[in-house]
Chain A
């Protein structure tokens, strides 16, 4: 007993020594950043209607900055994130970026959350010729500034590419849908995707039984629910934002109608996944905290840390999702571009990024396509057991998980 224990113990001592030596080596080769901080300025919608999603970006961004500072910071200097509240208003975002650049004199800027504030801030970035990376611009063709880069792989034409992915998923089921009802908010990025989906659906021979647009902020879904029920299509596609989907499904339930299959574009992830009406709802994503994504560098740590902080911040859905991942990717891109260009000069950073691309939690991203976009990587996710899981393409689904199509 004692004899057998000795080699075991010896192996552990040796392993411990080796570990200590390698940790010491890592510590010396990766010195903590020092010197004057590199100040990065941005805004997020910490209050107002976009706040429920912006809090996800804030948590993820704070984790990203901490992890960058645990590595080597930017050019060996610590990173300081100066974050302001744009109140979900594009005009406020515009003024605050002006302030960040001219009054606070930040070294670099990153984009806010959501299409309208992103566009507003892009104008300021362009005027001052600042490098500009953002992660939630839903209409790539509007990203016309040559130094503006996306951190999320929408591709340059998501209105054409993603509907194909989604309808491929539907076509793979035992009973592919023959008709589709499309209901969309007039919010620009939702409307843009709805129009694309209608075209792709027509090309594929689906009967577009209903196409409706409603104002952003609509309160009453009763009459729209009646029209959806009346159309009784095989597949309901909703260009929703926030809680629109919950309200629509609730209104449909009041009419004793449950859509056969239903997709929701940009829903608040928690409320829909946790709602009794949200079971088997489909949506789009780029990454979820499950295999095979957990094999990618940084994803397990980010997912764990995000869950802890989101729980503390009372965020309804505490799992990392595409919103949080996008923000993390944004900081990864900035880190690689600054350290790769070995400069804080905006033009040098943009040139380096365009030439070399970046490796983020979304994988290798390139920026040499139209509007600085690379390949699209949008996936289909589904609510199963009150949790979002990737179901299509099947290569990205966790083991044992399949698209459920009633």
Chain B
């Protein structure tokens, strides 16, 4: 029987890692839920962001926090360009899977060409720093990542709920023809949202660079669990993505603490299958 300290520590670790799942899932959830585009390239964008943060940090000694300020507008532009290509080629929900898979492969190859297949680790002085709260240790970088994920998820939720643009985006996702009839500029909004999603991928990439090991093939390692987070959290629901991420992270971590680490990947997909069979109203 694991000790309370072990369970508590595992929960803390799991929730914080889940925050990162939520952060990666945020852009994908918005793109899928509101633009009806399943953007697999979102993972590749996140890793491109991670490598850029790594490069800026190791070559120019630029703090990752400053690097994010450069990456956000850059990735926003990247998202807009990507959406222009989607519109030009009339990419829809199903074809977006194939097209964005291709884009991911291209980005993966580019990463491998530039940074090679070697594992890269962005060493920072604060990478191993933790706060001690009672018997628990809270890693600082993961905590900041989790706070950033929560802040972005809440801000996005508020934006969608209370602003005109947010309401227009939701209306467009619900019924595009009626939304256009009410004067919503659907084209402009889709470019805006695509840019925002890509910028979120860049921010997630910064935290991936700080927390995780970088290798081009790692793009695919995040795919399964983040997809589960997006679906469990409900498409287009930023708070749902965050909560689902934290729940899955915590469940995986507790499974690792009580059973075996090898059981961790089973958790997210089991939860997904159960929910798909159960089909609750909120899903």
Residue contact B117 to A49, C-beta cutoff 8 Å: yes
Smallest CB-CB separation from A47: which chain B residue?
B117
Residue contact A227 to B3, C-beta cutoff 8 Å: no
Give A227 to B215 CA distance when docked, in angstroms: 27
A271 contact set on B, CB distance < 8 A: 119, 121
Smallest CB-CB separation from A244: which chain B residue?
B213
* With A226-B9, A256-B132: A215-B262 Cβ-Cβ less than 8 Å: yes
Q: Quick one: which of B114-138 are within 8 Å of A by CB?
A: 116-119, 121, 127-130, 132, 137
A227 contact set on B, CB distance < 8 A: 2, 6, 256-257
Q: Quick one: which of A288-331 are within 8 Å of B by CB?
A: 316
B2 contact set on A, CB distance < 8 A: 227, 230
- Is A364 part of the contact surface with B, judged by Cβ < 8 Å? no
* With A48-B217, A212-B260, A220-B13: A268-B3 Cβ-Cβ less than 8 Å: no
Q: Quick one: which of B1-58 are within 8 Å of A by CB?
A: 2-3, 5-6, 9-10, 13-14, 16-17
Residues of B within 8 A of A (CB): 2-3, 5-6, 9-10, 13-14, 16-17, 112, 116-119, 121, 127-130, 132, 137, 139, 142, 212-213, 215, 217-218, 221-222, 252-254, 256-257, 260-262, 264-265
Residue contact A49 to B215, C-beta cutoff 8 Å: yes
Contact of A243 among B116, B117, B127, B213 (CB under 8 A): B213
Beta-carbon contacts of A241-258 to B below 8 Å, as 1s and 0s? 011001100100111100
Residue contact A256 to B13, C-beta cutoff 8 Å: no
B3 contact set on A, CB distance < 8 A: 230
* With A52-B119, A223-B253, A243-B121: A212-B9 Cβ-Cβ less than 8 Å: no
Smallest CB-CB separation from A231: which chain B residue?
B6
Give A47 to B13 CA distance when docked, in angstroms: 32
Residue contact A51 to B137, C-beta cutoff 8 Å: no
User: Separation in Å of the B20 CB from the closest CB of chain A?
Assistant: 9
User: Separation in Å of the A44 CB from the closest CB of chain B?
Assistant: 12
Q: Quick one: which of A12-48 are within 8 Å of B by CB?
A: 47-48
Residue contact B212 to A219, C-beta cutoff 8 Å: yes
- Is A218 part of the contact surface with B, judged by Cβ < 8 Å? yes
A253 contact set on B, CB distance < 8 A: 128
Give A134 to B56 CA distance when docked, in angstroms: 40
A255 contact set on B, CB distance < 8 A: 9, 130, 137
Smallest CB-CB separation from A255: which chain B residue?
B137
Residue contact B137 to A254, C-beta cutoff 8 Å: yes
Most buried by A among B139, B253, B256, B264: B256
- Is A393 part of the contact surface with B, judged by Cβ < 8 Å? no
User: Separation in Å of the A114 CB from the closest CB of chain B?
Assistant: 13
A247 contact set on B, CB distance < 8 A: 213
A186 contact set on B, CB distance < 8 A: 262
Give A316 to B215 CA distance when docked, in angstroms: 15
- Is A214 part of the contact surface with B, judged by Cβ < 8 Å? yes
Residue contact B17 to A222, C-beta cutoff 8 Å: yes
18 residue pairs bridging A and B, Cβ less than 8 Å apart: A47-B112, A48-B117, A49-B117, A212-B260, A214-B262, A215-B264, A220-B13, A220-B252, A222-B142, A223-B254, A223-B256, A223-B257, A225-B13, A229-B9, A254-B130, A255-B130, A256-B132, A277-B128
User: Separation in Å of the B207 CB from the closest CB of chain A?
Assistant: 12
Give A256 to B132 CA distance when docked, in angstroms: 9
B132 contact set on A, CB distance < 8 A: 256
User: Separation in Å of the B127 CB from the closest CB of chain A?
Assistant: 7
